[in-house]
């Protein structure tokens, strides 16, 4: 169902357009063209409750006034690029900075802050497209991106990305949904998480990688066996630098977008489980350490740790680290960037 929101205008002066998908189980997933943003996911539970599992704002225009990237499609390069630069042909190439000297999530006007074109939609599918011009946020070449969302009968939200460029450019697209499987207004640290990764990337207080990939063994970063986010919260110096978990994990090489999950997450009341599958090499675990003040669904504000993001990505700052054990993030003209992530929800 397509709903133009006629009373509120986006920064480009046109109305926001919302699309709601619905499956035969009664689950709904809502998206908007601004930022190709995932606004809502409502799952019917066994006891009749219909539970909202995503953080979000009360109205579309509030998304423009927040810097948490709630549900947004993030690009061209999700996560951070140190000092907003990389090398092309051994020459420094400068991007537009938006977090001190660094670039975060594609720059000050990243893909989250753009009107995406709705290519088509049906009851259980919607596709968006964005053309990003040469030089956009400092990136070389024109890039055409597509994101496809499919809501399956078995409550999988399948997200697939595709992009092409006309100049060599690093590409890293993700969705920045924050989940709270207990519903709105609960501390997400009570959730149990399992993450299929043996190594994570240490970062400095700016979120910039500051050491090589490091084993999670015997640290609070280890989620190979399920544990609550609270259990080892702030235990490691790595967490203390950034007020909690805000780290990229290199997934097991066997993880994929269909049958070997990257992560499992359980609500604290054990009524909802989410499983994440992805073709991406890494997952950023972010416990909402800086969510304070973000507009919520009821006209109030979120507190820190109100939701958790599990962002499928290349490792942060990959354009400057060609030796890390993952596929190249650089896309050449004629090649197609593809990435797929599935969030599957279970009412237990
Ligand atoms: C980053 C956080 C940042 C958040 C919102 C996450 O992906 O890792 O450091 O605060 O996005 O910008």
Q: Which domain CATH number covers 45?
A: 2.70.98.10
Cβ proximity of 43 and 27 under 8 Å: yes
For residues 36-52, b (16+ Cβ closer than 10 Å) or e, as one string?
bbbbbbbbeeeeeeebe
Binding-site members for beta-D-galactose are: 79-80, 176-178, 246
The string of pLDDT tens digits covering residues 29-41 is 999 999 999 999 9
Residue of 70, 286, 293 to test ligand 1 pocket, by largest number of atoms within 8 Å of CB: 286
Whether 3 shows a pLDDT value over 90: the answer reads no
Per-residue CA distances from 6 to 9, 14, 17, 60, 65 (Å): 7, 9, 9, 11, 19
Cα torsion 294, 297, 302, 305: sign = negative
Structure tokens at 178: 């924050």
10, with CB counted inside 10 A (0-12, 13-18, 19+), is buried
Whether 182 shows a pLDDT value over 70: the answer reads yes
pLDDT band at 2 (very low <50, low <70, confident <90, very high): confident
- Measure the CA–CA gap between 282 and 250, rounded to whole angstroms: 5
pLDDT band at 8 (very low <50, low <70, confident <90, very high): confident
pLDDT at 275: 98
Q: Is the pTM of this model over 0.95?
A: yes
Q: Count structural domains, the chain.
A: 1
Residue nearest atom 5 in ligand 1 by C-alpha distance: 68
Cβ proximity of 226 and 264 under 8 Å: yes
Continuous segment of H or E residues that includes residue 237 = helix 237-240
- Measure the CA–CA gap between 113 and 269, rounded to whole angstroms: 35
For residues 231-243, b (16+ Cβ closer than 10 Å) or e, as one string?
ebbeebebbebbb
Helices (H) and strands (E) in the chain, counts: 2, 28
pLDDT at 151: 98
Residue nearest atom 10 in ligand 1 by C-alpha distance: 290
| Mean pLDDT value of segment 13-24 | 96
Residue of 246, 248, 294 to test ligand 1 pocket, by largest number of atoms within 8 Å of CB: 246
What distance in angstroms lies between residue 51's CA and the mean position of ligand 1's atoms? Answer: 25
| Mean pLDDT value of segment 235-239 | 97
pLDDT band at 88 (very low <50, low <70, confident <90, very high): very high
How high does pLDDT run on average in the chain? 97
Residue 246 Cβ inside 6 Å of ligand 1? The answer reads yes
Residue 207 Cβ inside 6 Å of ligand 1? The answer reads yes
pLDDT band at 6 (very low <50, low <70, confident <90, very high): low
Whether 7 shows a pLDDT value over 90: the answer reads no
| Mean pLDDT value of segment 15-28 | 97
What distance in angstroms lies between residue 246's CA and the mean position of ligand 1's atoms? Answer: 7
Residue 106 Cβ inside 6 Å of ligand 1? The answer reads no
pLDDT at 261: 98
pLDDT at 230: 98
Peptide bond into 317 cis (omega under 30): no
The answer for residues whose C-beta is within 8 angstroms of residue 194's C-beta and 6 or more apart is: 223, 224, 225, 226, 263, 264, 265
Cα R_g (the chain), whole angstroms? 19
Q: State the virtual CA torsion across 14, 18, 19, 23 in degrees, nearest 10.
A: 180
Structure tokens at 246: 């805000």
- Measure the CA–CA gap between 330 and 318, rounded to whole angstroms: 9
The string of pLDDT tens digits covering residues 242-256 is 999 999 999 999 999
| Mean pLDDT value of segment 196-215 | 98
Domain enclosing residue 194, as ranges: 2-347
Cβ proximity of 341 and 278 under 8 Å: yes
| Mean pLDDT value of segment 78-95 | 98
Per-residue CA distances from 343 to 166, 179, 325 (Å): 31, 10, 25
**Which of ligand 1's atoms lies nearest the C-alpha of 316?**
8
Structure tokens at 108: 């000050």
Active site residues: 176, 311
Whether 1 shows a pLDDT value over 90: the answer reads no
Length of the chain: 348
The string of pLDDT tens digits covering residues 52-73 is 999 999 999 999 999 999 999 9
């Amino acid at each position: 169902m397509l709903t133009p929101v006629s009373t509120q205008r986006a920064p480009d002066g046109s109305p926001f357009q919302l699309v709601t998908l619905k499956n035969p189980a009664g689950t709904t997933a809502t998206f908007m063209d601004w930022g190709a943003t995932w606004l809502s996911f409502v799952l019917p539970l066994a006891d009749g409750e219909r539970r909202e599992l995503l953080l979000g704002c009360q109205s579309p225009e509030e998304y423009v006034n927040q810097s948490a990237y709630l549900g947004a499609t993030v690009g061209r390069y999700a996560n951070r690029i140190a000092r907003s630069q990389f090398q092309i042909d051994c020459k420094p190439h400068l991007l537009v900075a938006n977090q001190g000297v660094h670039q975060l999530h594609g720059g000050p006007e990243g893909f989250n802050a753009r009107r995406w074109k709705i290519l088509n939609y049906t009851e259980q599918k919607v596709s968006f497209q964005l053309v990003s011009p040469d030089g956009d946020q400092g990136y070389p070449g024109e890039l055409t991106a597509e994101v496809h969302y499919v809501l399956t009968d078995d409550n999988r939200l399948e997200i697939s990305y595709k992009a092409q460029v006309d100049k060599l450019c690093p590409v890293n697209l993700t969705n920045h949904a924050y989940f709270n499987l207990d519903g709105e207004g609960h501390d997400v640290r009570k959730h149990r998480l399992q993450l299929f990764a043996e190594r994570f990337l240490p970062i400095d207080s700016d979120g910039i990688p500051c050491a090589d990939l490091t084993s999670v063994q015997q640290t609070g970063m280890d989620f190979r066996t399920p544990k609550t986010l609270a259990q080892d919260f702030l235990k490691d110096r790595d967490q203390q630098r950034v007020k909690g978990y805000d780290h990229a994990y290199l997934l097991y090489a066997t993880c994929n977008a269909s049958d070997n999950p990257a992560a499992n997450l359980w609500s604290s009341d054990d009524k909802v489980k989410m499983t994440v599958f992805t073709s991406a090499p890494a997952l950023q675990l972010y416990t909402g350490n800086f969510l304070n003040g973000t507009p919520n669904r009821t006209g109030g504000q979120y507190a820190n740790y109100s939701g958790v993001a599990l962002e499928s990505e290349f490792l942060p700052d990959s354009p400057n680290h060609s030796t890390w054990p993952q596929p190249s993030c650089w896309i050449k003209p004629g090649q197609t960037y593809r990435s797929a992530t599935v969030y599957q929800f279970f009412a237990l």
